[in-house]
Amino acid sequence: MKLYIIRHGETKLNALGRLQGWTDEPLNQNGKDLAIITGEALKEIPFDLVITSPLKRARETGELTVAASEKNFGRKIPIIEDRRIMEFNWGCWEGLGCLENNFEVPDPNYNIFYTDAFHYQGSPDGESVADVMERTADFFNELIANPDYQDKTILIATHGCALRAMLNPLYENRDSFWQEHVPYNCAVTIIDVQNGQAKRRPRRESNPYICGLGARFGCERLKRAFKPLRLKSQI
Protein backbone atom coordinates (compact mmCIF):
# COMPACT_ATOMS: atom_id res chain seq x y z
CA MET A 1 0.00 0.00 0.00
CA LYS A 2 1.15 3.50 -0.78
CA LEU A 3 -0.54 6.55 0.72
CA TYR A 4 -0.31 10.12 -0.52
CA ILE A 5 -1.67 12.33 2.25
CA ILE A 6 -2.46 15.89 1.23
CA ARG A 7 -3.62 18.92 3.15
CA HIS A 8 -6.40 20.84 1.41
CA GLY A 9 -5.76 23.94 -0.68
CA GLU A 10 -6.28 27.49 0.52
CA THR A 11 -9.71 28.89 1.42
CA LYS A 12 -11.03 32.39 2.05
CA LEU A 13 -10.91 31.86 5.82
CA ASN A 14 -7.29 30.67 5.56
CA ALA A 15 -6.38 33.82 3.66
CA LEU A 16 -8.21 36.02 6.18
CA GLY A 17 -6.53 34.42 9.19
CA ARG A 18 -9.71 33.05 10.77
CA LEU A 19 -10.42 29.77 12.55
CA GLN A 20 -12.04 27.32 10.16
CA GLY A 21 -12.46 23.91 11.74
CA TRP A 22 -15.69 22.22 10.65
CA THR A 23 -16.95 25.31 8.80
CA ASP A 24 -17.64 23.98 5.31
CA GLU A 25 -15.65 26.49 3.29
CA PRO A 26 -14.79 25.77 -0.39
CA LEU A 27 -11.39 26.39 -1.94
CA ASN A 28 -10.61 29.88 -3.16
CA GLN A 29 -9.04 30.33 -6.60
CA ASN A 30 -5.52 30.08 -5.24
CA GLY A 31 -6.48 26.85 -3.49
CA LYS A 32 -7.90 25.41 -6.71
CA ASP A 33 -4.81 26.42 -8.69
CA LEU A 34 -2.53 24.83 -6.13
CA ALA A 35 -4.47 21.54 -6.14
CA ILE A 36 -4.32 21.45 -9.95
CA ILE A 37 -0.57 22.16 -9.94
CA THR A 38 -0.01 19.41 -7.39
CA GLY A 39 -2.18 17.04 -9.41
CA GLU A 40 -0.17 17.69 -12.57
CA ALA A 41 2.96 16.79 -10.64
CA LEU A 42 1.32 13.53 -9.52
CA LYS A 43 -0.29 12.58 -12.83
CA GLU A 44 1.99 9.56 -13.28
CA ILE A 45 0.74 8.06 -10.01
CA PRO A 46 -1.88 5.35 -10.69
CA PHE A 47 -4.25 6.18 -7.86
CA ASP A 48 -6.83 3.52 -7.04
CA LEU A 49 -8.87 5.44 -4.50
CA VAL A 50 -9.38 8.84 -2.86
CA ILE A 51 -10.38 8.99 0.80
CA THR A 52 -11.39 12.47 1.86
CA SER A 53 -12.79 14.45 4.73
CA PRO A 54 -16.41 15.31 3.86
CA LEU A 55 -15.65 19.04 4.13
CA LYS A 56 -15.75 20.82 0.76
CA ARG A 57 -12.18 22.10 0.82
CA ALA A 58 -10.79 18.61 1.30
CA ARG A 59 -13.06 16.90 -1.22
CA GLU A 60 -12.39 19.57 -3.85
CA THR A 61 -8.66 19.18 -3.26
CA GLY A 62 -8.91 15.42 -3.68
CA GLU A 63 -10.93 15.70 -6.87
CA LEU A 64 -8.65 18.31 -8.44
CA THR A 65 -5.46 16.52 -7.40
CA VAL A 66 -6.37 13.21 -9.06
CA ALA A 67 -7.94 14.76 -12.18
CA ALA A 68 -4.67 14.65 -14.15
CA SER A 69 -4.06 11.03 -13.09
CA GLU A 70 -7.60 10.10 -14.17
CA LYS A 71 -6.99 11.65 -17.58
CA ASN A 72 -3.56 10.06 -17.91
CA PHE A 73 -4.76 6.54 -17.09
CA GLY A 74 -8.21 6.87 -18.63
CA ARG A 75 -10.20 5.83 -15.60
CA LYS A 76 -12.42 7.38 -12.95
CA ILE A 77 -11.02 7.14 -9.44
CA PRO A 78 -13.62 6.39 -6.75
CA ILE A 79 -13.94 8.79 -3.82
CA ILE A 80 -15.16 7.90 -0.34
CA GLU A 81 -15.63 10.23 2.63
CA ASP A 82 -14.64 9.61 6.23
CA ARG A 83 -15.58 11.96 9.06
CA ARG A 84 -12.70 10.74 11.20
CA ILE A 85 -10.23 12.80 9.16
CA MET A 86 -12.14 16.09 9.49
CA GLU A 87 -10.37 19.12 10.92
CA PHE A 88 -10.19 20.13 14.58
CA ASN A 89 -13.65 21.29 15.66
CA TRP A 90 -13.46 24.85 17.01
CA GLY A 91 -17.18 24.91 17.85
CA CYS A 92 -18.54 28.39 18.62
CA TRP A 93 -15.12 29.96 17.93
CA GLU A 94 -15.14 29.14 14.24
CA GLY A 95 -14.82 32.18 12.03
CA LEU A 96 -13.02 34.23 14.70
CA GLY A 97 -9.80 36.04 13.85
CA CYS A 98 -6.68 34.33 15.17
CA LEU A 99 -3.83 36.59 14.07
CA GLU A 100 -2.24 39.44 16.01
CA ASN A 101 -3.98 42.03 13.84
CA ASN A 102 -7.49 40.50 14.08
CA PHE A 103 -7.42 38.37 17.23
CA GLU A 104 -10.90 37.55 18.58
CA VAL A 105 -10.56 34.12 20.24
CA PRO A 106 -11.84 34.36 23.87
CA ASP A 107 -9.20 32.00 25.23
CA PRO A 108 -6.18 33.20 27.24
CA ASN A 109 -4.59 29.80 26.61
CA TYR A 110 -5.08 29.82 22.83
CA ASN A 111 -1.35 29.83 22.16
CA ILE A 112 -1.11 26.37 23.74
CA PHE A 113 -2.69 25.04 20.54
CA TYR A 114 0.65 25.77 18.87
CA THR A 115 3.12 25.42 21.74
CA ASP A 116 1.69 22.37 23.56
CA ALA A 117 -1.06 21.03 21.29
CA PHE A 118 -1.30 17.65 23.02
CA HIS A 119 -2.89 19.37 26.03
CA TYR A 120 -5.10 21.89 24.23
CA GLN A 121 -8.82 21.66 25.06
CA GLY A 122 -10.44 24.11 22.61
CA SER A 123 -13.87 25.73 22.91
CA PRO A 124 -16.60 24.51 25.30
CA ASP A 125 -18.59 22.99 22.43
CA GLY A 126 -15.63 21.92 20.29
CA GLU A 127 -13.04 19.22 20.83
CA SER A 128 -9.52 18.72 22.13
CA VAL A 129 -6.44 17.79 20.13
CA ALA A 130 -6.53 14.48 22.01
CA ASP A 131 -9.96 13.87 20.46
CA VAL A 132 -8.54 14.46 16.98
CA MET A 133 -5.63 12.13 17.66
CA GLU A 134 -8.01 9.38 18.79
CA ARG A 135 -10.30 9.52 15.75
CA THR A 136 -7.51 9.90 13.19
CA ALA A 137 -5.58 7.02 14.76
CA ASP A 138 -8.69 4.87 14.53
CA PHE A 139 -9.00 5.76 10.84
CA PHE A 140 -5.33 5.20 10.02
CA ASN A 141 -4.91 1.91 11.88
CA GLU A 142 -8.06 0.52 10.29
CA LEU A 143 -6.87 1.61 6.85
CA ILE A 144 -3.39 0.11 6.95
CA ALA A 145 -4.74 -3.17 8.31
CA ASN A 146 -7.41 -3.50 5.61
CA PRO A 147 -6.49 -6.54 3.45
CA ASP A 148 -8.41 -5.14 0.48
CA TYR A 149 -6.10 -2.14 0.27
CA GLN A 150 -2.68 -3.73 0.64
CA ASP A 151 -1.83 -3.41 -3.07
CA LYS A 152 -3.53 -0.04 -3.57
CA THR A 153 -2.29 3.51 -4.08
CA ILE A 154 -4.52 5.91 -2.17
CA LEU A 155 -4.78 9.70 -1.95
CA ILE A 156 -6.02 10.96 1.43
CA ALA A 157 -7.31 14.55 1.44
CA THR A 158 -7.46 15.98 4.93
CA HIS A 159 -6.58 19.00 7.11
CA GLY A 160 -3.61 20.47 8.96
CA CYS A 161 -4.35 19.40 12.52
CA ALA A 162 -5.88 16.08 11.44
CA LEU A 163 -2.83 15.29 9.30
CA ARG A 164 -0.35 16.01 12.10
CA ALA A 165 -2.45 14.00 14.57
CA MET A 166 -2.74 11.05 12.20
CA LEU A 167 0.98 10.88 11.43
CA ASN A 168 2.34 11.69 14.89
CA PRO A 169 3.32 8.04 15.59
CA LEU A 170 5.45 8.07 12.43
CA TYR A 171 7.47 11.20 13.19
CA GLU A 172 11.00 10.89 14.54
CA ASN A 173 10.21 13.48 17.22
CA ARG A 174 6.78 12.50 18.48
CA ASP A 175 6.94 15.13 21.23
CA SER A 176 6.53 17.86 18.60
CA PHE A 177 2.93 17.91 17.41
CA TRP A 178 3.33 20.50 14.64
CA GLN A 179 6.81 19.39 13.53
CA GLU A 180 7.87 23.08 13.44
CA HIS A 181 4.96 24.25 11.28
CA VAL A 182 1.43 23.59 10.11
CA PRO A 183 1.50 21.54 6.87
CA TYR A 184 1.46 23.80 3.83
CA ASN A 185 -1.67 23.92 1.71
CA CYS A 186 -1.48 20.97 -0.72
CA ALA A 187 1.72 19.64 0.84
CA VAL A 188 2.00 15.89 0.20
CA THR A 189 3.32 13.30 2.65
CA ILE A 190 4.06 9.83 1.26
CA ILE A 191 3.59 6.74 3.42
CA ASP A 192 4.69 3.23 2.47
CA VAL A 193 2.81 0.37 4.13
CA GLN A 194 4.10 -3.21 4.18
CA ASN A 195 2.63 -6.02 6.24
CA GLY A 196 0.50 -3.57 8.16
CA GLN A 197 3.47 -1.39 9.12
CA ALA A 198 3.59 2.24 7.98
CA LYS A 199 6.74 4.22 7.27
CA ARG A 200 6.91 7.89 6.35
CA ARG A 201 9.26 8.90 3.57
CA PRO A 202 11.88 11.56 4.43
CA ARG A 203 10.59 15.12 4.20
CA ARG A 204 12.77 15.97 1.21
CA GLU A 205 10.92 13.26 -0.74
CA SER A 206 7.44 14.21 0.40
CA ASN A 207 7.58 17.97 -0.12
CA PRO A 208 5.13 19.37 -2.73
CA TYR A 209 8.14 20.05 -4.96
CA ILE A 210 9.01 16.33 -5.22
CA CYS A 211 7.45 15.79 -8.58
CA GLY A 212 9.23 18.34 -10.74
CA LEU A 213 6.94 21.25 -9.99
CA GLY A 214 9.71 23.78 -10.48
CA ALA A 215 10.71 22.44 -13.87
CA ARG A 216 7.13 21.95 -15.02
CA PHE A 217 5.59 25.24 -13.94
CA GLY A 218 8.44 27.65 -13.24
CA CYS A 219 9.41 29.41 -10.04
CA GLU A 220 7.14 32.44 -10.47
CA ARG A 221 3.95 30.39 -10.70
CA LEU A 222 5.01 28.41 -7.66
CA LYS A 223 5.74 31.59 -5.71
CA ARG A 224 2.22 32.83 -6.45
CA ALA A 225 0.63 29.52 -5.46
CA PHE A 226 2.68 28.73 -2.34
CA LYS A 227 2.09 31.81 -0.20
CA PRO A 228 4.33 32.45 2.84
CA LEU A 229 3.12 30.44 5.83
CA ARG A 230 1.69 32.17 8.87
CA LEU A 231 1.28 29.56 11.57
CA LYS A 232 -1.93 30.83 13.13
CA SER A 233 -3.77 31.49 9.87
CA GLN A 234 -3.74 27.94 8.64
CA ILE A 235 -6.26 25.94 10.71
For the stretch 157-201, pLDDT in tens is 999 999 999 999 999 999 999 999 898 899 999 999 999 999 998
pLDDT at 218 over 80: no
Question: How many whole angstroms from its chain centre is CA 13?
Answer: 16
Output the pTM of the full model: 0.90
Taken in order of first residue, the domains within the chain and their CATH numbers are 2-233 (3.40.50.1240)
pLDDT recorded at residue 208: 46
> What does the pLDDT average to over 79-94?
98
pLDDT recorded at residue 209: 41
> What does the pLDDT average to over 49-55?
98
pLDDT band at 223 (very low <50, low <70, confident <90, very high): very low
> How would you class 67 by CB atoms within 10 Å of its CB: exposed for 0-12, middle for 13-18, buried for 19 or more?
middle
CA dist., res. 1 & res. 151, Å (int): 5
CA dist., res. 235 & res. 157, Å (int): 15
> What does the pLDDT average to over 20-32?
96
